[in-house]
Amino acid sequence: MDRVPILSLGDVLLVSIQVDLQDESVVALQEDLAERIVDSGATGVVIDISAVEIVDSFIGRMFATIASLSKVLDAETVVVGMRPAVAITLVELGLSLQGVRTALDLQRGLAALRQRRAEREIPLADESDEAVEAPAAARD
Amino acid sequence: MADETQRVYALVRSSEQELLDRWVDVASTALQGRLTRSELERACGDLLAALTPALDVAGLNIRSEAYASARAMLAEMSRDRARRGFSPSETATEVFALKEALFAIADARGDSSETIVAVSRWVDALGLHTFEVFARAREQVITEQAEQLLELTTPVVKLWEGVVAVPLIGTLDSARTQVVMEKLLQTLVDTGSEHAIIDITGVPAVDTEVAQHLLKTVVAARLMGAECTISGIRPQIAQTIVALGIEFGDIPTKATLADALLYALRNSGVEVVRRRRTNAG
């Protein structure tokens, strides 16, 4: 069985799927990924599927599973490089992958993660705003 | 049966040149100059040259192996006629003219009625084969044209860096949606565009099926990481959509292509500002 390699890129884990996935390797990937997220404390996961030509419902569900799994471990998942044929197949299978972020290519995927992280930091900024609110109110 | 074959064979072989002449005569009268005489002579001559040995080997059964070249010739002929816009009867007449020519010769030779019946059956079989191929060829022509039309009516245009649009014109069915979907998604990949606009100004009617097709396209584009907007919703279409209870969910819909473009530009961080005239200020 081929194990899908998981690469570490800063605080992002990059999963590049280069082979036709078997069901066992999908299960193994989910296990490996969960472990790696916990070990590395990664905040983002990018799954590059630009080399995947054939998908079935099992693999389609894998994206959703990985996304929710990462979410539980506080990491954002972006699926990048989906081919048109794959997208059409997933739609025909009725899998719209709600809750899974997608991007056209790796670069855009990483940019989306960065942007997401920036957005997520806004609540923190809000909290600090509250801290300085008192003097602001006093000014009024 | 063998006896019958013998008689038909003898009839065909009795005076080949005369048969050919008569055949061409009858056919050219029926076709009224749509084919030149020399063209007909060549077509009929080739066919007769293929039919005679086949008749000798396999008898009247035109489905047999010996008739392969004659059948191919007939098929080629009817395909050619179909493409040139001949009517079905004109094409069939070209073959059935052989019957008339054979009857005339049989009459002159004083052949029995059994021979006439056998000849009739033989030529009918040939004619039917021709007709079948003709119909198939016509269908093929129609399919090809439909495909070409499909290609023609679904252009994907680039409106801005990172924004592409598909102006849909005409009725949407499953086949067309498939083509639109594939083309749009491929363009997204090729141009690296993150925004797609499907403009349905030219779609005469939207029912639940069409809406379903549109939704599928939008979802597929999203799966690839592009945002998709539907624009060009005319008032009547909007009314139909509401009346049918079609839900577009969180898919942005805009009244005009201009609105959709503006929305896409804003989303990608481009702000459109009217330039102030320097001399006015």
ipTM score assigned to the predicted complex: 0.73
Q: Is the dihedral angle over the CA atoms A68, A50, B179, B143 positive or is it negative?
A: negative
Q: A105 vs B192: CB contact, 8 Å cut-off?
A: yes
pLDDT digits (tens, 9 = 90+) for B181-221: 888 999 999 999 999 999 999 888 888 888 888 888 999 99
Considering only CB atoms, B182 lies closest to which of A84, A96, A102, namely: A84
B contact residues 216-235, partner A, Cβ 8 Å cutoff: 216, 219-226
pLDDT digits (tens, 9 = 90+) for B113-168: 888 888 888 888 888 888 888 888 888 888 888 888 777 767 889 999 999 999 98
The rounded distance, in Å, linking the Cα atoms of B276 and B281 is 8
**Distance of residue A89 Cα from the nearest chain B Cα, in angstroms:** 9
Report yes or no: B69 and B50 within 8 Å, Cβ to Cβ: yes
Q: B182 vs A88: CB contact, 8 Å cut-off?
A: yes
Which residue type sits at B14?
Answer: S
Q: B194 vs A104: CB contact, 8 Å cut-off?
A: yes
Q: B225 vs A109: CB contact, 8 Å cut-off?
A: yes
pLDDT digits (tens, 9 = 90+) for B106-116: 888 888 888 88
In chain B, where the domains are located: 2-146, 157-267
Chain A hits for B166, Cβ within 8 Å: none
The rounded distance, in Å, linking the Cα atoms of A88 and B189 is 14
Please provide the DSSP assignment of A106-126 as one string: HHHHHHHHHHHHHHHTHHHHH
Place of tokens 């300085």: A132
Query: What rounded mean pLDDT belongs to chain B?
Result: 86
Comparing alpha-carbon positions, the chain B residue that sits nearest to A99 is: B223
pTM of the model: 0.61
B126 touches chain A (CB under 8 A): no
Question: Best of A96, A108, A110 to disrupt the B interface by mutation (most B CBs within 10 Å)?
Answer: A96
Considering only CB atoms, A87 lies closest to which of B192, B194, B223, namely: B223
Mean pLDDT calculated for residue range B244-264: 90
Lowest mean pLDDT among A17-31, B216-230, B252-266: A17-31
**Domain architecture of chain A: domains with CATH:** 6-139 (3.30.750.24)
**Distance of residue A137 Cα from the nearest chain B Cα, in angstroms:** 33
Looking at the predicted structure, is the pLDDT value of residue B249 above 90? no
- What is residue A136's predicted lDDT score, i.e. its pLDDT? 46
- What is residue A79's predicted lDDT score, i.e. its pLDDT? 92
Looking at the predicted structure, is the pLDDT value of residue A132 above 50? no
Beta-carbon contacts of B172 under 8 Å, excluding residues fewer than 6 positions away, are: B180, B203, B210, B213, B214
Comparing alpha-carbon positions, the chain B residue that sits nearest to A108 is: B225
Q: Angle of helix B2-14 relative to helix B37-58, nearest 10 degrees?
A: 150
Provide the CATH topology of domain B2-146.
Globin-like (1.10.490)
Cβ-based neighbour number of residue B182 at 10 Å: 17
Comparing alpha-carbon positions, the chain B residue that sits nearest to A101 is: B225
- What is residue A123's predicted lDDT score, i.e. its pLDDT? 56
Beta-carbon contacts of B154 under 8 Å, excluding residues fewer than 6 positions away, are: B166, B168, B176, B179, B180, B183
B140 touches chain A (CB under 8 A): no
Mean pLDDT calculated for residue range B74-89: 84
- The CB-based long-range contact list for B56-62 (8 Å cut-off, 24+ gap) reads B56/B9, B59/B1, B59/B2, B59/B4, B59/B5, B60/B1, B60/B4, B60/B5, B60/B8, B60/B118, B60/B121, B60/B122, B60/B125, B62/B122, B62/B125, B62/B126, B62/B129
What is the band of B257 on the pLDDT scale with cuts at 50, 70, 90?
very high
Q: Angle of helix B88-109 relative to helix B113-152, nearest 10 degrees?
A: 170
Beta-carbon contacts of B69 under 8 Å, excluding residues fewer than 6 positions away, are: B50, B54
% of chain A surpassing 70 pLDDT: 86
Place of tokens 């916990």: A38
| A-B contacts at Cβ under 8 angstroms | 59
% of chain B surpassing 90 pLDDT: 18
Beginning with the edge strand found earlier in the chain, give each strand of the sheet holding B195-202 in spatial order: B157-160, B163-169, B195-202, B227-231
What CATH code is assigned to B157-267?
3.30.750.24
Say if strands B195-202 and B163-169 run parallel, antiparallel, or are unpaired.
Answer: parallel
% of chain B surpassing 70 pLDDT: 97
Considering only CB atoms, A91 lies closest to which of B186, B193, B216, namely: B216
**Distance of residue B260 Cα from the nearest chain A Cα, in angstroms:** 20
The rounded distance, in Å, linking the Cα atoms of B84 and A60 is 50
pLDDT digits (tens, 9 = 90+) for B229-247: 999 998 988 898 888 888 8
Beta-carbon contacts of B264 under 8 Å, excluding residues fewer than 6 positions away, are: B159, B160, B163, B195, B197, B227, B229
Beta-carbon contacts of B218 under 8 Å, excluding residues fewer than 6 positions away, are: B198, B228, B230, B251
Query: What rounded mean pLDDT belongs to chain A?
Result: 83
What is the band of B20 on the pLDDT scale with cuts at 50, 70, 90?
confident
Q: Is the dihedral angle over the CA atoms B165, B167, B273, B160 positive or is it negative?
A: positive
Mean pLDDT calculated for residue range A42-47: 91
The rounded distance, in Å, linking the Cα atoms of B128 and B42 is 21
Considering only CB atoms, B185 lies closest to which of A79, A87, A105, namely: A87
- What is residue B281's predicted lDDT score, i.e. its pLDDT? 47
- What is residue A122's predicted lDDT score, i.e. its pLDDT? 58
Beta-carbon contacts of A140 under 8 Å, excluding residues fewer than 6 positions away, are: none
Q: A84 vs B225: CB contact, 8 Å cut-off?
A: no
